[in-house]
Amino acid sequence: MSDFISGFWSPYIAIVTVVSMLACALLLWRLSTRRLAKGEKVDTTGHVWDEDLTEYNNPLPNWWRWMFYITIVFSLGYLAAYPGLGSFAGLWNWSSAGQYEKERTAAQQRFGPLFDKYLAQDVQAVAADPQARQMGERLFLTYCAQCHGSDAGGSKGFPNLSDADWLYGGEPEAIKTTITAGRNGVMPPMGPSLGAEGTKELANYVLSLSGGKHDSALAEKGKEKFAMCAACHGADGKGNQQLGAPNLTDQTWLYGSDEATIIETITNGRNNMMPAHGELLGEGKVHMLAAYVYGLSKK
Residues that bind ligand HEC (CB under 6 A): 143-144, 146-148, 157-159, 161, 166-168, 175, 178-179, 183-188, 190, 202, 206, 228-229, 231-233, 243-246, 248, 253-255, 262, 265-266, 270, 272-275, 277, 289, 293
Residue 281's contacts (CB-CB under 8 Å, 6 or more residues apart) are: 139, 143, 179, 289
In this structure, the dihedral spanned by the alpha carbons of residues 274, 276, 281 and 284, taken in order and rounded to 10 degrees, is 90
- Other CB atoms within a 10 A radius of the CB of residue 87 amount to 15
CA 240-241-246 angle, 5° bins = 65
Half-sphere exposure of 164 (CA within 13 A, CB side): 3
**CA-CA distance, 270 to 135, in Å (whole number)?**
34
- Choose between 65 and 183: whose C-beta lies nearer to ligand HEC: 183
* Pick 219 or 245: Cβ nearer ligand HEC: 245
Residues 46, 201: Cα–Cα separation, whole Å: 89
Nearer to ligand HEC (CB atom), residue 86 or residue 244:
244
Tell me the closest approach of the beta carbon of residue 117 to ligand HEC, in angstroms.
20
Task: Report the residue number whose CB is nearest to ligand HEC.
Answer: 185
What's the closest the beta carbon of residue 144 comes to ligand HEC, in angstroms?
Answer: 3
**Complex with ligand HEC: residue 3 or 279, whichever CB lies closer:** 279
What is the smallest separation between the CB atom of 255 and ligand HEC, expressed in angstroms?
A: 4
Asked if residues 167 and 185 have their Cβ atoms less than 8 Å apart, the reply is: yes
Shortest CB 2 distance to ligand HEC, Å = 31
Query: Which is closer to ligand HEC, CB of 126 or CB of 206?
Result: 206
Nearer to ligand HEC, 135 or 254 (CB): 254
For the bound state, the minimum distance from the C-beta of residue 169 to ligand HEC, rounded and expressed in Å, comes to: 6
User: Does residue 229 contact residue 151 with C-beta atoms inside 8 Å?
Assistant: no
| Smallest separation, CB 142 to ligand HEC (Å) | 8
**Which of 68, 87, 91, 67 shows the shortest CA–CA distance to 17?**
87
Cα–Cα distance for residue pair 106/210, rounded to 1 Å: 52
Min. distance of Cβ 164 from ligand HEC in angstroms?
Answer: 10
Q: Which is nearer to ligand HEC, 86 or 168 (CB)?
A: 168
Whose Cβ is closer to ligand HEC: residue 32's or residue 178's? 178
CA distance 83 to 289: 39
For the bound state, the minimum distance from the C-beta of residue 214 to ligand HEC, rounded and expressed in Å, comes to 13
Burial 188-211 (b: 16+ CB within 10 A, else e): eebbeebeeebbbbbbbbbbbbbe
